[in-house]
């Protein structure tokens, strides 16, 4: 049975995920684990809309490592079993799947000075939790065109807000960021990255403090 995009989107929403778009693989890409796939659909979060589904899940409260990754694996694998799609995840590897490159093919996104991809509606408050690969070339809508929001942003507060200047046109100083968070960065730990929050695009979709604290704690845990 060929999956219908509307059915997949509805099932993903019911499970606590947003369908983030999709694209067709070129013949040269259909090698190795992707050999039998023609279509990739991406799933993730937009703003804080999907967070409550994870917050009440068993993985969120069992005290084990990597709760969001484990929840993502369970939910997306269940969608794959239902619609005959092969699950793929950004946290599997090395080697890792090129989710940022895939995301730019699936929907309208742009690079930013922070090294993150910005969505014209959701700003920097979005993420990808996994993908499903399908053997059929599913009919897909064309992503809408939009202007790059950073090009009209004169002040670029994302580059001047970080207390330790971790973000600059030459890159992201991960060590400076992590060191600040472990010492004086209570404001970032409690409400999310100040530079990310300074972006004026999609502020109405900003993560809740609970969601932001979770991601900041996960960031620090990943760096020992």
**Confidence (pLDDT) at 25:** 98
At what angle are helices 174-182 and 209-221 packed, to 10 degrees? 110
Nearest to 106 by CA among 77, 136, 138: 138
Residue 174, token pair as written in the block:
């991960």
The domain spans of the chain are: 5-134, 149-221
pTM as predicted: 0.94
CA angle 215, 219, 104 (to 5 degrees): 75
Tell me the pLDDT of the chain (224 aa) as tens digits. 567 999 999 999 999 999 999 999 999 999 999 999 999 999 999 999 999 999 999 999 999 999 999 999 999 999 999 999 999 999 999 999 999 999 999 999 999 989 999 999 999 999 999 999 999 999 999 999 999 999 999 999 999 999 999 988 778 999 999 999 999 889 999 999 999 999 999 999 999 999 999 999 999 988 87
């Amino acid at each position: 049975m060929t999956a219908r995009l509307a059915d997949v989107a509805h099932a993903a929403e019911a499970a606590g995920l947003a369908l983030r778009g999709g694209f067709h693989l070129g013949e040269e890409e259909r090698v190795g684990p992707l050999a039998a796939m023609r279509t990739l659909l991406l799933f993730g979060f937009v703003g804080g809309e999907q967070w409550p589904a994870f917050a009440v899940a068993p993985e969120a409260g069992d005290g084990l490592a990597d709760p969001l990754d484990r929840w993502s694996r369970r939910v997306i694998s269940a969608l794959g079993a239902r619609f005959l799609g092969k699950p793929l995840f950004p946290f599997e590897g090395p080697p890792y799947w090129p989710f940022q490159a895939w995301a730019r093919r699936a929907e309208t996104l742009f690079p930013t000075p922070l090294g993150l991809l910005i969505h014209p509606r959701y700003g920097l408050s979005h993420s990808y939790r996994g993908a499903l690969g399908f053997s059929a070339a599913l009919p897909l809508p064309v992503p809408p065109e939009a202007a790059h929001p950073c090009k009209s942003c004169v002040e670029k507060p994302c580059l001047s807000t970080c207390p330790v200047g971790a973000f600059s046109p030459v890159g992201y100083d991960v060590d400076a960021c992590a060191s600040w968070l472990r010492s004086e960065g209570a404001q970032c730990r409690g409400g999310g990255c100040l530079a990310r929050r300074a972006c004026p695009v999609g502020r109405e979709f900003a993560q809740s403090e609970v969601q932001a604290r979770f991601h900041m704690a996960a960031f620090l845990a990943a760096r020992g």
